[in-house]
Structure 1
Amino acid sequence: MELKQIVEIGKCLSNQTRVEILEWLKEPDANFPANHTGITNKDGVCVGTIQEKAGLSQSTISTYLGNMERCGLLKMIRSGKWSYFSRNEEVIEQFINQLQNKL
């Protein structure tokens, strides 16, 4: 993992709502209602469902999720016009390991 990605992840984690989103997605079945699209919560949670739980505007949540995807914290899949997000456990683990090794 490059230093630039570590810094970008740090920026994403500097916002309480983004940290909460990562927490919620750690156990999506416990934190979100079931999807009715054939996509399980473990595969990804719909942007609208995350937005409802966060209580913020759709545009704000979309921006947060896009930033988190770009820095690698989240993975996205599309089904028709809907986007579903899940944690990228590999990148999260790499980030934690890099922090332990560098700091």
Structure 2
Amino acid sequence: MHATDPDPDDLVGVFKALGNPVRLQIMRWLRDPEEHFAAYEPIADRQVVGVCVSHIQAKSGLAQSTVSGYMATLERAGLVRSTRVGKWTHYRRDEGRLKQLAGVIDRAF
């Protein structure tokens, strides 16, 4: 392991967060928010602050509470970051963390 690698429990949390098909789909959508959320008028710059949780909820068709729980799980795993814009929470992928995790997986397996 490298000094900057997450501990094994942290990695298990990441895999658990990605083990849900809807959370995995949300991560795919957030990879290219301009493409996947083009039907929704942005509240703020998607490249800077990400996608409004209400847009994620609308696209997924799930209850707001379910989507909020899913996003909290992804955030705890370090896969997304949240930013408040007024009363709205926006999410974007943490690309640095994802690159770090890809390196850990590459070295481990």
TM-score (structure 1 length as normaliser): 0.92
- Deviation for aligned residue 1:17: 0.6
Gaps of 5+ in 2: 1-5
Structure 1 partner of 2:18: 13
Structure 2 partner of 1:55: 61
Partner SS for 2:62: coil
1:27 is aligned, of 7, 25, 32, to: 32
After the TM superposition, list the runs of 4 or more consecutive aligned residues in structure 1 that deviate by more than 4 angstroms. Answer: none
TM-score (structure 2 length as normaliser): 0.88
Gaps of 5+ in 1: none
- CA RMSD, Structure 1 to Structure 2 (Å): 1.0
Number of equivalenced pairs: 101
Q: Percent identity?
A: 35
Write out per-residue CA displacement over residues 20-43 of structure 1, whole angstroms, 9 at most, x where no aligned residue: 1010000000011341x3x21122
Counterpart residue identity of residue 60, structure 1 = T
